[in-house]
Amino acid sequence: MASVHNEKGIVYSKMSNYSEALRNALMALRYYEKSDNMQLYGNSLVNLGLLYKHQNQIDLAMLYYEKAIVVYKKLSEKDSFFSIAATYSNISQAYLKEGKIDSSIKALTQSQEYVNKINDNYLNAENNHAFGMIYFDLKNYKQAETNYLAALRSFNLLNDKSGIAKTKVRLGRLYFKQKHLTKGLEFNQEGLELAKKINHLEWQKE
């Protein structure tokens, strides 16, 4: 029954029907917190955090993210590191939504510490991309470039075309800012062409 409500919650969330998504996610949580499966219980808490974040209820999102961290830390190290890293990344995004840059960087750094322990290319790519966006907004273009290039290397290793596209678009913006116009145009065009090829046209709107 918990998995049914969980799946319904995900579907309603994708439809932006957050009231129904929340109702089902809370029902799933009630089942999971009575079970012995701490991984699914933690995941359920994270799902609620994401739902509250989408509704700009950041305090509630943080509450559920922090609860998830506590649950995940009860698991064995091997099972928990990915989940903890991903949750700290979500916490970073929530802080960023509130404009709390220092707290966002701190949470993302905590995430990366766990990523380094498991050498996960996907989370490494996403974290470096997130760092790049933060440092770009702070006008620390050198650090932003370092992070974007690290993200691009990881996305290439994964053959993650969506990740490659969005990172090349970001690098194009960065090089334009630095007045490296030829380089900026090259990366921007490559990113947009790849985005069109894989039908991720939202990158053209960035």
Instruction: Please tell me the distance from the alpha carbon of residue 107 to that of residue 133, in angstroms, as a whole number.
Output: 15
Q: Which amino acid is at 28?
A: A
Q: pLDDT tens for residues 77-99?
A: 777 999 999 999 999 999 999 99
8 Å CB contact between 108 and 89: yes
pLDDT exceeds 60 at position 140: yes
Task: Report the pLDDT value the prediction gives residue 53, as an integer from 0 to 100.
Answer: 92
Task: Report the pLDDT value the prediction gives residue 202, as an integer from 0 to 100.
Answer: 57
Task: Report the pLDDT value the prediction gives residue 18, as an integer from 0 to 100.
Answer: 80
Confidence of residue 206 (pLDDT cuts 50, 70, 90): very low
Instruction: Please tell me the distance from the alpha carbon of residue 25 to that of residue 188, in angstroms, as a whole number.
Output: 39
Instruction: Please tell me the distance from the alpha carbon of residue 37 to that of residue 9, in angstroms, as a whole number.
Output: 19
8 Å CB contact between 68 and 49: yes
8 Å CB contact between 128 and 150: yes
Question: How many of the other CB atoms lie within 10 Å of CB of 113?
Answer: 13
pTM: 0.88
Confidence of residue 24 (pLDDT cuts 50, 70, 90): confident
